[in-house]
Amino acid sequence: MTPTQLRKPRRVAVLSVHTSPLEQPGTGDAGGMNVYITETATRMAQRGIAVEVFTRATSSGLPPVAELAPGVLVRHVSAGPFEGLDRAELPAELCGFTAGVLRAEARHEPGYYDLVHSHYWLSGQVGWLTRKRWGVPLVHTAHTLAKVKNAALAAGDTPEPRERVIGEQQIVDEADRLIANTDVEAAQLVSLYDADPEKVDIIAPGVDLERFRPGGRHAARRRLGIAPDAVVFAFVGRIQPLKAPDVLLRAVAALLARGEIARERLVVLVAGGPSGTGLEQPAALQDLAVALDITDVVRFLPPQSGEALADVYRAADTVAVPSHNESFGLVALEAQACGTPVVAAAVGGLPVAVADGFSGLLVAGHATDDWADTLGRLAMSPVLRAQLAAGAVQHAHRFSWDRTTDALIAGYIDADHALRYSLARAEVAV
């Protein structure tokens, strides 16, 4: 069968149980996954594929259906109480959520959805049940994996539960296609979950190169009230142990103790809100700043979006991504697209998102002295920063959401073809 004979889906059901693409990334459970769904769904619609995103309703005031973009609908499914539940409480609501998805499909003629794409393991549990009911392919993106997270826990963080490990295994066994962000994640799916390598597609996330682009650093600093000659480090993301913003604060305190940076010139921007286990102690990072005696140099900002987020990236000399685990690291890519070098932990997909020595610097581990050394090296070397800034823009341009979307659609077509071929063989056998 030639590519022209393969069938592009007309309508895709996207499952995002625990977080809505309408939510602001950077707080609660909203993060890179929200950006991923929004960007790819919007571009699929532009390519003639209608997308309906199913997510759990967290308020009685939400409309049953909302338009995210032309051709993209968000369906709020009632499942459990109308309030924000912790992710640990959501498995108990999956039956109700699944029933709501099936009811929505039942209002239409059979074959209304051509494919299901589930995001995160909670959605995957719903995905493989709807796949069986509708007889359509299931494509799944894990975003994070329990076994990987548990092997790289931050101090004091809570391990992922056994029910998640079992649930992820069920999804890997049932899905027609698994989307991995990097070859590292693909290898983890195969080695840790015994995934069929032939069913794993490696598709890197992208970056909005129109929104995130080099711009006026002085103008960005002026809007943020930062002196033109300041040394600026930034952290952007959810405030939780997994993302390790404490690593940046400890490194900054070490730099000040060494006297390598004048205190009056240093600014540390932390943009984001509590999330995950960070919700248990929402002020923990502020308390750490007090304990380290650096409250005068640290500025806590709420989650940023649009041009305000780009301003944070552009205003910084360096953006730190010290996570204990990242399947990819969209923040690193966005910062580099703005021309800002990134210092990142050499974990997960970050060595793909950051080209070590070309667009930023990778740090092995999370030791305070190692991070202080690397941040100090960049802060003290304008030449190195300029070289990495140029490389950052070049590296970011290797990625785009258009490229990601086109690769996903190709994966959808392959998954549909494989399922139809399998069904045809089964009919012949009978």
380 is in an annotated binding site: no
Is 374 marked within a binding site? no
Q: For residue 234, which of 220, 250, 245, 243 has the smallest C-alpha distance?
A: 245
Q: Is 238 annotated as a binding residue?
A: yes
193 is in an annotated binding site: no
d(CA 214, CA 314): 7
- For 72, the enclosing helix (H) or strand (E) is strand 72-77
Q: Coil, strand or helix: which one is 177? A: strand
332 is annotated as contributing to ligand binding: no
26 is in an annotated binding site: no
34 has binding-site annotation:
yes
**Tokens 């682009």 sit on residue:** 213
Q: Flag whether 44 is marked binding.
A: no
Convert 59-74 to b/e letters by CB count within 10 Å (16 or more is b). Answer: eeebeeebebbebbbb
Flag whether 217 is marked binding. no
Q: How far apart are the first and last CA of the chain?
A: 23
The Cα–Cα gap between 399 and 4 comes to 26
Alpha carbons within 13 A on the beta-carbon side of 21: 26
Query: Helices 330-337 & 32-46, crossing angle to 10 degrees?
Result: 70
Residue 420 labelled as part of a binding site? no
CA nearest to 354, candidates 342, 337, 340: 342
Give the integer Cα–Cα distance in Å for 346 and 363: 6
Q: Is 120 annotated as a binding residue?
A: yes
> Does 221 carry a binding-site annotation?
no
Confirm whether residue 87 is marked as ligand binding: yes
Token pair for 324: 């204990």
Q: Percent helix, strand and coil across the chain, each rounded to 5?
A: 50, 15, 35
Does the annotation flag 181 for ligand binding?
no
CA max distance for the chain: 78
Instruction: Confirm whether residue 326 is marked as ligand binding.
Output: yes
Residue 41 known to bind ligand:
no
What is the distance between the alpha carbons of residues 98 and 91, in angstroms, rounded to a whole number? Answer: 11
340 among annotated binding-site residues: yes
**Does 109 carry a binding-site annotation?**
no
Task: Look up tokens 């806590």; give the residue.
Answer: 300
Rg from Cα positions in the chain: 22
**Are 129 and 105 a contacting pair, CB within 8 Å?**
no
Consult the annotation and say whether 404 binds a ligand: no
Q: Are strands 177-180 and 342-345 parallel, antiparallel or unpaired?
A: unpaired
Positions at the binding site for UDP-N-acetyl-alpha-D-glucosamine: 24-25, 32, 238, 243, 304, 326, 334
Residues within the annotated binding site for Mg(2+)?
313-314, 316, 340
Which parts are annotated binding residues for 1D-myo-inositol 3-phosphate? 18, 29-34, 87, 120, 144, 164
Residues placed in the known binding site: 18, 24-25, 29-34, 87, 120, 144, 164, 238, 243, 304, 313-314, 316, 326, 334, 340
